[in-house]
Amino acid sequence: MKKMKSVLCIALLSTILVGNVFAGDTAGSGLLGFFDNVINAVISLVAPADSCETRQCQTCRPREDGGSGNCRPTR
Amino acid sequence: MLYVKRKTKVCGKNAASQYLGWLLLILFLASPVLSQDTDVFPVPDGYQIEGIPQIRKSEVENMFYDPASIRSNLIWDADRRNQRLLVTDETNSVYLLSSPLSKPDKLLEKIVPNTVKTRPDGGSFAYTSDHEDEDNYQLYFYDLKERTPKRLTTLTGKDESIESFVWSRDGDSLFYSKVDYDSKTSKVCRNDLTAETCYQIDLKGIWNVVDSNKDGILLKHWKASSSQLLYIYKIQSNKLTPVEEKANSRKGFLVDDRVFWTAEGSDLCAKKQCIFSSSLKSGGPKELNLPANLVNIDDVKFSPSGNYLLIQDSINGIDNLRIFRVKRDKVVEEIPRFISGSFVIWNIRWLSDTELAYTLENNGKPAAIQSFNIASKRITDWTKELLPAQLEGKVQSPEVIRWKSFDQHEITGYIVRPKVVVKKSPVLIFIHGGPQILDKPVFNSFDIRLASNLGLTTIHTNIRGSSGFGDEFMDADNKEKRGDAIKDVQSLLDWIGTQPDLDAGRIFIRGESYGGYVALSSALQEPRRIKAVVAEYPLVSIRGFLSQSWIDEFARNEYGDPKDENLMARLDQLSPLNNVGRWNNAPLLLTRGKQDSRNPEKDVTDLKTQLQKKGSEVWYIYSTKDGHGFGSKYVAAAMYIFLKQQIKKENQGETK
């Protein structure tokens, strides 16, 4: 019985501690870290160079850090 | 010490340990709930969202991948003197690529370069960027020794922008046009890298600098997409002379004392397109003898000695590179073609008289840079693309599709189907912005992801108004003909209905900028067949668009005169703004950047409010830090979840 309680106790503490660490780290550098370093894959293409003014047709913007833009050098 | 004691007692037999035990149990039971918060995809700072449910990271994490698992490089410009390249990648940074397959050396990041041009001596380069103020480009100089950018220009007007520049032939200075969108005038200026001098010539409208030689500057006046006129400006005499009065000249350049230009709609040209040249001294246009099978000339460049002529020809967005040997201004033979397969090709540069560098990509292949030596017939890889494993083999090869519109005009696009289609695939129609641009099958991991994760087929369209199919097609949506572009989309819906692998009951539409207008308008006209809409930073109302101060002759030629009330009233009927009664509650994902100066914000917010009041489902993303063309991981994630939900909804509808 005593052994069972010890096991239960260790299990509880482990779960809570691991859970806390996971939660804390996730907000800091866990999953968020992953998302900070991934590429946003939205690329659509525009080729405005010779048929349209820049102001009318250029939608090339860099995305957030590590992200991809819809820019293509065209000139 | 106390902590150790308590911790010890947790497992003891006294009452305190029992309370602690209960506490632990509660925490244990609550931990799954608490840990759910960590699964929330964060809304970026500066975003204000409405109607968007909380996005779970675990649901969208397969949308993204490690940047190290992809390599996609494109040429900005070549340094012929030192046989090296300035290149970019998916982040739009500028790198120096010193030799084939060497590691690109990052020079600039977090800029928005529109054009990058190497100085003739190769020791530096110039570029334009609107990073500081959106849509108002400044000119910068970058010395490769000092490795720091220097801004050369100061914009003092209300709405000025530098959108074109060229180096002088000796590299001592830069020529550029300073466009004032408020007064609708342009100035031609010279900068010797320390100070600016603007010439005393009065240019009404929007003008670009195209090329220069020792005493002249080649200029382009943008009257309309089908009316681009070239002029020679002689600095000494301050005289402006048209190259050709009537033809639409998209390309022009100077070689020695001759001006070359492409011409469409010219009285001198019996074909669809011609290339002419003329002496700057004596005039007298002369047509270059070209094969008749050139369809749409995208680029023209002579080799440095003039012995070879490169022509990039494009058919339905697929590019061909053709090299011709030239003798005494005449094409004498074509070099056997060296690229096999269907690719989109960007920014070709001559590295020497017999070698040229170019970028190749297509829907399934990230961009890579190669060079081809005419003498040795050898292809050299300068960069090698890298494709993340999770993107490999997920889609079928892109296929060009054609359909007939209401007036029998043939409209084209390309389709990206999932590798495996179970029964019928839902369809996302994509409409590009512009409209005078061409949607080409470039590497597009978003299409691949939608196909592999949602089984969604994407159809990229080049409806009337797009470039690449001739001036008549480009003008076929102008002014009162705007509704015909919407009919092209309606005809596509008919075409989808005839395809055995596509589900005509699950069609969604997405458009950006002007494409957002077409998407919204198509959904208004097709309340039954279009099930949901994604409109990114859209133009909502042509009346509202034309009311802005920056609107110039080019825009009026495309969209119409805002004083023409009959036309405006007719165009009003195409927009869901003020027509929400006809909106069949199709769910809408709408984005808008606060810094967007292209389209009026009021139109977007009015549309959103009207639809919300009507009870329509609206997912709204408003970024206080971004402008026209913005996107982000959050936008991508929201779009993915939005489409996923719509597909699911329609599935349920089908089973009921």
pLDDT tens digit string along B148-189? 999 999 999 889 999 899 999 999 999 999 999 999 999 999
pLDDT recorded at residue B30? 53
Residue B408 gets which letter from DSSP? S
> How far is B47 from B235, CA to CA, in rounded Å?
49
Chain A / chain B CB contacts < 8 angstroms: 213
Contact across the interface for A41 and B449, Cβ inside 8 Å? yes
Most A CBs within 10 A among B8, B26, B38, hence the mutation to make, goes to B38
> How far is B334 from B323, CA to CA, in rounded Å?
6
> How far is B437 from A59, CA to CA, in rounded Å?
11
CB-closest option in B250, B347, B443 to A43 = B443
* pLDDT greater at residue B13 or residue B340: B340
* Ordered DSSP codes for B511-553: EETHHHHHHHHHHHH-TTTEEEEEEES----HHHHHTSTT--H
pLDDT tens for each residue of B247-278: 899 899 999 889 999 998 888 888 888 999 99
State yes or no: pLDDT of B615 exceeds 70: yes
| Segments of B64-159 assigned E as strands | 74-79, 84-88, 94-97, 105-108, 113-118, 124-129, 138-143, 148-151
> How far is B307 from B440, CA to CA, in rounded Å?
31
B623 is written with which tokens? 């970024």
Q: How far is CA B491 from CA B407, B409, B482, B520, in A?
A: 10, 10, 15, 16
Question: Cα–chain-centroid distance for residue B642?
Answer: 23
Contacts of B433 in chain A (CB under 8 A): 46, 57, 59
* pLDDT greater at residue B143 or residue B1: B143
Most B CBs within 10 A among A5, A21, A34, A46, hence the mutation to make, goes to A46
The residue of chain B with its CA nearest to that of A67 is B91
* Ordered DSSP codes for B270-308: SSSEEEEEEETTTEEEEE----TT---EEEEEE-TTSSE
State yes or no: pLDDT of B90 exceeds 70: yes
Contacts of A68 in chain B (CB under 8 A): 72, 90-91, 445
* Ordered DSSP codes for B166-196: EE-TTSS-EEEEEEETTTTEEEEEEE-SS-E
Q: Residue B440: how many CA atoms within 13 Å on its side-chain side?
A: 30
Contacts of B55 in chain A (CB under 8 A): none
pLDDT recorded at residue A47? 41
Q: Span B286-296, mean pLDDT? A: 86
CB-closest option in B11, B70, B437 to A57 = B437
Q: Judge whether A26 and B619 are in contact, CB under 8 Å.
A: no
Blockwise average pLDDT, block size 10, chain A, 75 residues: 53 41 29 28 40 80 46 62
Hey, how many other C-beta atoms are within 10 angstroms of the C-beta on B407?
11
- ipTM of the complex as predicted: 0.80
Contact across the interface for B440 and A71, Cβ inside 8 Å? no
The percent of residues in chain B predicted with pLDDT above 90, rounded, is: 70
Establish whether the linkage from the previous residue to B435 is cis, with ω within 30° of 0: yes
pLDDT tens for each residue of B239-249: 999 998 888 99
pLDDT band for B314, please (50, 70, 90 cuts). Answer: confident
Q: Judge whether A59 and B435 are in contact, CB under 8 Å.
A: no
Mean of the per-residue pLDDT values of chain B: 90
Instruction: Say which amino acid occupies B87.
Output: V
Hey, how many other C-beta atoms are within 10 angstroms of the C-beta on A22?
15
A44: closest CA among B53, B438, B193?
B438
pLDDT recorded at residue A69? 44
Contact across the interface for A56 and B554, Cβ inside 8 Å? yes
* pLDDT greater at residue A75 or residue B127: B127
> How far is B175 from B185, CA to CA, in rounded Å?
17
pLDDT recorded at residue B2? 33
Residue B354 gets which letter from DSSP? S
Contacts of A40 in chain B (CB under 8 A): 64, 631-633, 635-636
Instruction: Say which amino acid occupies A13.
Output: L
Distance from the Cα of B131 to chain A's closest Cα (Å) equals: 9
> How far is B326 from B331, CA to CA, in rounded Å?
4
Q: How far is CA B99 from CA A75, B92, B240, B556, in A?
A: 22, 20, 42, 47
B505: closest CA among B496, B518, B513, B514?
B496
CB-closest option in A32, A51, A75 to B467 = A51
CB-closest option in A15, A40, A48 to B632 = A40
Contact across the interface for B436 and A48, Cβ inside 8 Å? yes
Contacts of A29 in chain B (CB under 8 A): none
> How far is B354 from B164, CA to CA, in rounded Å?
28
State yes or no: pLDDT of B353 exceeds 60: yes
B219: closest CA among B229, B201, B231, B205?
B231
pLDDT band for B112, please (50, 70, 90 cuts). Answer: confident
Q: Span B88-115, mean pLDDT? A: 89
CB-closest option in B64, B74, B116 to A35 = B64
Contact across the interface for A31 and B61, Cβ inside 8 Å? yes
CB-closest option in A35, A42, A53 to B222 = A53
pLDDT band for B68, please (50, 70, 90 cuts). Answer: confident
Residue B602 gets which letter from DSSP? H
Contact across the interface for A55 and B70, Cβ inside 8 Å? no
The residue of chain B with its CA nearest to that of A42 is B446
* pLDDT greater at residue B332 or residue B21: B332
SS3 B415: strand
